[in-house]
A and B are shown apart, each in its own frame.
Chain A
Amino acid sequence: MSGDRITKGLLFLSSLTILLLSAGIVVSLLGGALPAFREFGLRFIISPAWNPTAGSEEYGAMSFIAGTVITSILALIICIPMAFSTSLFIAEYFRGTRTSGILRSLVDLLAGIPSIVYGFWGFYALRPLLVATGLTDQGFGVFTASLVLAIMIVPYATSLSAEIISMVPAELKEAAYSLGATRREVIFSVVIPSARSGIIASFILALGRALGETMAVTMLIGNANVIPKGLFAPGNTMASVIANQFGEASGLKMSALIAVGLLLFLITALVNYLGKLIIKRFA
């Protein structure tokens, strides 16, 4: 009997770690960010300033919020047609065949490549290609970063979408076929409406991943602490400014960076929560 009690106690205690961790994270972020908010108030969130010169320090998160939002949404837009067609390939057109299994494994491979390798490859292989097109002279900027980001989030959007699509009941599709519909018509009139919420949720979750991505973006976005001026202009994201400047920061600057981290935490948590909510309501 006491063996039971000990085991149950141990299990409960370990669950506490999650509780403590979560609370600790929130408290530490808030505590670390407090000096910055005390100094700049809530204006910090909408201010694009970033001036570390001693004596006239002023910090604001807007440039990075803009950078994060723009790159993530652009990445999502680029990702959608790729993920959509791949999930239809896997779950509809070639469903159950070896080809679809191979494609699925290949897409999963994309998810396994470490972020820094993506960034490095983007730097040495992709950038010259983009420079060659003439659209950008150095190759750093929002577009390059978003392109690589898109490739990175495709596996997440694809696997979830494919799963949702394959769950559409066969009888619904058969009814449409029996009325003379072509495959494409069945997909657009029955499969997609049926799977719509799940597909949207998968894209939202992919967006959540894009928001927090650090290394690849840091290496490609150009590290300019301003709101990006154009598609091929440099900028910075919340994650990348922290990665770049935290190591040498102190005092107010560090607090500002932690505040940026807090904002990133909140945005990511919100987006992920939204995605999970849609899935729960759907399934």
Chain B
Amino acid sequence: MELTDNIRRRSRTNNRFRYLVIAGSVITIIPIFLIVGNLAVKGYRQINLAFFTKPAPDTFQAMMAAVNGEIIPGGIANGLTGSLLMVLLASLLAIPLGLMTGIYIYENESKKYARFIRSLTEILQGVPSIILGIIAYLWIVKNITRGYSALAGSVSLTIMMLPLIIRSTEETMRMIPLSIREAAFALGTPYYKMIYKILIPVSFSGLATGVLLALSRILGETAPLMLTALGSPAISFDITRPVSAVPLLIWDFYNDPNMVNLVWSASLFLMVFVLSMNLLARSVASKHKYI
């Protein structure tokens, strides 16, 4: 009967499409398992206490170890300290500025200027990180520190963090019910107190999430640091001198065939660290759900 043929054909197409959708989704997530699996299997060997406490070995030491089938001596301590230094500095600059700008945009939504600033923020967010590296080079490396430096690296990271924090601050604020502000005003709270004592505390977990996500983003950044911090074999806290960072070390190791094992471990570490921050941010967001 024509009707049953029609139904059978369409049911078949329907089922086939469903399988396609499921297959496509599985293919999409296969890379995660491949990447994590590869890194875990090949990277765990070099992870030991020295990994975290010793600076990077030179290529000769690595070659000797590889020849003898031993674990390469040394670790990523210089990268860890460098990353820490730059991220801390960037946070010091970006968090307060980002928070205040986000609050400004939220509080002044009706003004054209505020909306203009928001559009600029969106554009800034889309700028490729390597270009921010060029900018930090032109501003800091050339003019201020006269050479590669941790400061330049921090500045590039700051510019990266700013739009992320501004956007997440604004979005978090948006979710606060208006009635809370109105209640504060009804009690006679002055404007600035409302911001410090009500707005910020109430939205704290949302703000924290935004900051954590921004941090996890810049911890894995390499490109701008190549043009600004350059990298260094020493553990240093001098912001006017070149400094290393974990992603930079991975880049250095990658360019040296002797360091293969160390690259796997460093990549494993970086990936685990960044993903953990991501998960942390997400759990903070979900735990304090009333905002």
Residues of A within 8 A of B264 (CB): 124
Is A40 positioned at the interface, with any CB of B under 8 Å from its CB? no
- Contact yes or no, B24 A261, CB < 8 A: no
Residues of B within 8 A of A214 (CB): 128-130, 222-223
Q: List the one stretch of A130-138, A194-202, A221-229, A265-273 in contact with chain B.
A: A265-273
Beyond A17-B101, A25-B127, A215-B223, whether A4 also contacts B114 by CB under 8 A is no
What is the interface of chain A mostly: helix, strand, loop, or mixed? Answer: helix
CA distance A82 to B223 in the complex (A): 28
- Contact yes or no, B195 A7, CB < 8 A: yes
CA distance A276 to B175 in the complex (A): 21
Residues of B within 8 A of A12 (CB): 104
Residues of A within 8 A of B129 (CB): 212, 214
Is B152 positioned at the interface, with any CB of A under 8 Å from its CB? no
CA distance A121 to B35 in the complex (A): 7
Beyond A114-B270, A115-B220, whether A18 also contacts B128 by CB under 8 A is no
Query: Which of chain A's residues has its CB closest to B276's CB?
Result: A112
- Contact yes or no, B192 A4, CB < 8 A: yes
In this complex, how many residues of chain A approach chain B with their Cβ under 8 Å: the count is 79
Interface centre among A15, A119, A213 (most CB of B within 10 A): A15
CA distance A25 to B123 in the complex (A): 12
- Contact yes or no, B130 A239, CB < 8 A: yes
Is A8 positioned at the interface, with any CB of B under 8 Å from its CB? yes
Residues of A within 8 A of B234 (CB): none
Give A1-20 interface residues, CB cut-off 8 Å to B.
1, 3-4, 6-8, 10-12, 14-15, 17-19
CA distance A83 to B27 in the complex (A): 10
Residues of B within 8 A of A7 (CB): 191-192, 195
CA distance A47 to B138 in the complex (A): 25
- Contact yes or no, B28 A83, CB < 8 A: yes
- Contact yes or no, A261 B130, CB < 8 A: yes
In this complex, how many residues of chain B approach chain A with their Cβ under 8 Å: the count is 79
Q: List the one stretch of A49-57, A58-66, A103-111, A168-176 in contact with chain B.
A: A103-111
Beyond A7-B191, A106-B29, A121-B38, whether A114 also contacts B107 by CB under 8 A is no
Q: Using an 8 Å CB-CB cutoff, how does the interface string of B123-140 with A read, 1 for contact, 0 for none?
A: 110111111011101110
CA distance A182 to B7 in the complex (A): 9
CA distance A1 to B35 in the complex (A): 57
CA distance A113 to B121 in the complex (A): 24
Is A88 positioned at the interface, with any CB of B under 8 Å from its CB? yes
Is B103 positioned at the interface, with any CB of A under 8 Å from its CB? yes
Residues of B within 8 A of A117 (CB): 35, 39, 220, 250, 267, 270-271
- Contact yes or no, B25 A89, CB < 8 A: yes
- Contact yes or no, B166 A86, CB < 8 A: no
Residues of A within 8 A of B34 (CB): 121, 125
B116 CB, min distance to chain A CBs, angstroms: 8
- Contact yes or no, A18 B162, CB < 8 A: yes
Q: List the one stretch of B11-19, B49-57, B59-67, B70-78 in contact with chain A.
A: B11-19
In order of increasing CB-CB distance, the 3 nearest A-B pairs are A114-B220, A85-B24, A212-B128
With A32-B138, A183-B17, A272-B126 already in contact, 6 other A-B pairs whose C-beta atoms are closer than 8 Å: A4-B191, A110-B31, A114-B247, A114-B270, A247-B226, A261-B130
| 9 A/B residue pairs, CB under 8 Å, sorted by A | A25-B127, A85-B22, A85-B23, A125-B38, A212-B129, A214-B130, A215-B223, A246-B226, A272-B122
